[in-house]
Amino acid sequence: MICDPIGTVAELEARVGRSMVTDVEKAMAVAALEDAAAIARVYGDPWWGCTPVTTMAATEPVVVNGVTVRSTGINVPAGVKAVVLAMAARALRNPDGFVSETAGEYTYRYSENTANGISPSQGEITMLAKLAQKDKIRTVAFERAVQIARKRENPYDENGDVIWDESSG
């Protein structure tokens, strides 16, 4: 299976507010995007942006590694890209997961959400689940054959014996 990246380095640079200049920074950005996309696929749809190696007609079911895939090349919703880019940006802004830093009299404190690095917040997990349509309540349509009696009277007498059956009309 081949998975396209969710988000680009240029989109990540726009969110971080600076360019990735060195090769090390660019490699960190690519790795952060790949990690964030992998985590998003765990909480959301594992086939977002992925296509199987073999191509089949769109009407045929696709089986990849013994798993039936709902479709080939599932498009990535814009919300998923936003979550992936936010996770990757957190990892780049605070790669070591510091909560606060102190240098002499100067102290800088990160928000608690920034300190969790690439891990998604509970809100992001909920958003990914909704975008993957993993709602907890589902409506299932079903039909049940109902047999309607042809006669309205009770088929039993006062002793519980059957006084008529299907063959009696």
Mean pLDDT, residues 114-132 taken together? 85
Between CA 8 and CA 74 the distance in angstroms is 18
Between CA 29 and CA 12 the distance in angstroms is 8
Judged by phi (left if over 0) then psi (alpha if -120 to 50, else beta), residue 34 lies in alpha
pLDDT at residue 24 in the model: 92
Between CA 160 and CA 169 the distance in angstroms is 19
| % of the chain residues with pLDDT over 90 | 27
Q: Tell me if 114 sits within 8 A of 93, measured CB to CB.
A: yes
- The predicted model scores a pTM of 0.63
Q: What is the pLDDT of residues 64-110, one digit of tens each?
A: 555 555 444 567 888 999 999 999 998 888 776 677 778 888 887 77
Average confidence score pLDDT of the chain: 77
Name the DSSP letter for residue 49: T
pLDDT at residue 58 in the model: 52
